[in-house]
Chains A and B, each alone.
Chain A
Amino acid sequence: MDPPASPDQPTVENRFHPWDQSPSPDLRMRAATIKAKAKCPVTHKDINYTCPLSGIPTHHSREAWEHDEEYHKTKKWEILKKVNIYEHDLRSGRPFPEFDFPTDQPEDMLVNFKTWDTYLYTRSFYSMDTEFQLAVVTKMLTFPTTIASVLHQFSPYFLQPKGPITMEGLKSLAALRYTLYPENRASTIRERPVRIFLLNAKSESLLPPHIWKELAYLFPGVSFELHFIGPECYFDREKKRFIVKDTPIVQRLDDSMCFYFHTQDFHVLHEAQDFFPYDPYLDVFFCFHPRFAAEELSDTWKKAVPGLLDSKCAIFSTGYHKQNVDSDYNWLVENFGKDLDILMERTKNVFGSTKWELNDLDPQDVFQFNQQLFGFRGKRYHAVNKEI
């Protein structure tokens, strides 16, 4: 009864190719990189064998692949297979009607933040029927939607014990929601735009502006300034390299949205007092994959985190996977535990990317963008009544 499926319709079968025989030169290149740089987890030798289940080079030889019991027991190959088919779908050249994004949300239609499906449906995105369409779109939308899902009044994160938000977290979020919902406020004074600082910005700073505009549609009547901070936040497409400048690069999209690219580290800007004064009602920090605990970054973060805590604004941070977010969290608590309050316990991000990725240097290290989420803030000290 149904018409035969068109080859444009992505399925697991028609998107599966072993990477070293991939129709796409990019992926053959990545297979070669894995073979050249990664080491087999069993024999610790070069990788020469492509797993027939996932189509990704994972082991030194067929024997090593057979002997890797954990690999088969945890069904790691299922995730690797998803990496494979999603990458091939992106390069398949099919039409992508799902990139036709909606604009303003009609006032009488509420947005549901329960899951990606309810969000996309209530925002009236193009119908994302398969995991392939979700993977393509959520990888981009995860950045603005993660921000919105934390700050929105219909946030899926509840106060403890029903959810991950602590009492301190509710205080910070209440302050921000006071600003984000001007229609519920007695005073109509608009002081200045809400500033969202994106620290150590990498891939998020390369997103097209209309993706960030999603924030303005979700919070109508509020204007935003997005501050991308970090040496890799401004990529010059003509010169094909990251630019470092002393002054911020400003791009105004429209009345409600303005982008600032600060190509220095946060502690430099903080010490120069470029962002003063901070206001917990108007400012919030988001660190997408900060990797606080990573060796090559921990020096910069050791200088930056005191400034962040000093601002007393809420800071939310995401991680690639459970281990990544655990090490970040433990690093923070170890180094700055006395000075910070946890706003949000570590939790799985409802609006993480659904697209699986793999690390070319270790193909079994699989991750998703913004998979995990937690929040913290510098301690606020209140006046204490002393009886003398």
Chain B
Amino acid sequence: MLPTLARFAARGSSYYENGSYRMSPAMIRARRPYFWRNFGTFLIIASVPLGVYLYTFSFLHTDDLEDIPVPPLSDEQVQELQKEYRKEKAEQAAAESRKD
């Protein structure tokens, strides 16, 4: 089997131009009747990952991140955040002391 395949490959290489590896005119002619249908199949298959990507992209864009405070902040907001922070710290410390 191997010699046949090797011979096949040797002659098959005449379908690519030396050096540039462009398809030869004979290969282009042989593939032409199938070009548009193959291209359609490519579009259908390519639409699956592309659709997944676009859906994820649009889904993530519905989140405008308004719940994250961005400076500059007013004094009231700073105080509220500091209060939240202290409360969190205190809870952490309580939890650690209970563990010991």
B-binding residues in A (CB < 8 A): 97, 100, 102-104, 106, 109, 114-115, 117-118, 120-122, 124-130
Q: How many A-B residue pairs have CB under 8 A?
A: 46
Which positions 54-91 of chain B face chain A at CB distance < 8 Å?
none
**Chain A residues closer than 8 Å to B27, beta-carbon distance:** 121, 127
B interface: dominant SS: helix
A36: min CB distance to chain B, Å: 40
- The answer to whether B8 and A127 have CB atoms under 8 Å apart is no
- The answer to whether B26 and A106 have CB atoms under 8 Å apart is no
What is the 8 Å Cβ interface bit string for chain B, positions 1-41, against chain A (1 contact, 0 not)?
Answer: 10011011001101100000000111101111100000000
**Complex: how many Å from CA A103 to CA B3?**
11
Q: Please tell me which one of the listed residues A97, A121, A124, A128 contacts residue B8 in the complex, with CB atoms under 8 A apart.
A: A124
B40: min CB distance to chain A, Å: 18
**Chain A residues closer than 8 Å to B5, beta-carbon distance:** 106
Q: Please tell me which one of the listed residues A100, A103, A120, A128 contacts residue B4 in the complex, with CB atoms under 8 A apart.
A: A103
B61: min CB distance to chain A, Å: 46
- The answer to whether B33 and A127 have CB atoms under 8 Å apart is no
A-binding residues in B (CB < 8 A): 1, 4-5, 7-8, 11-12, 14-15, 24-27, 29-33
**Chain A residues closer than 8 Å to B33, beta-carbon distance:** 114-115, 118
A40: min CB distance to chain B, Å: 39
**Chain B residues closer than 8 Å to A118, beta-carbon distance:** 30, 33
**Chain B residues closer than 8 Å to A114, beta-carbon distance:** 33
- The answer to whether A129 and B12 have CB atoms under 8 Å apart is no
**Complex: how many Å from CA A103 to CA B4?**
8
**Chain B residues closer than 8 Å to A97, beta-carbon distance:** 14
**Chain B residues closer than 8 Å to A104, beta-carbon distance:** 4
**Chain A residues closer than 8 Å to B14, beta-carbon distance:** 97, 126-127
B75: min CB distance to chain A, Å: 70
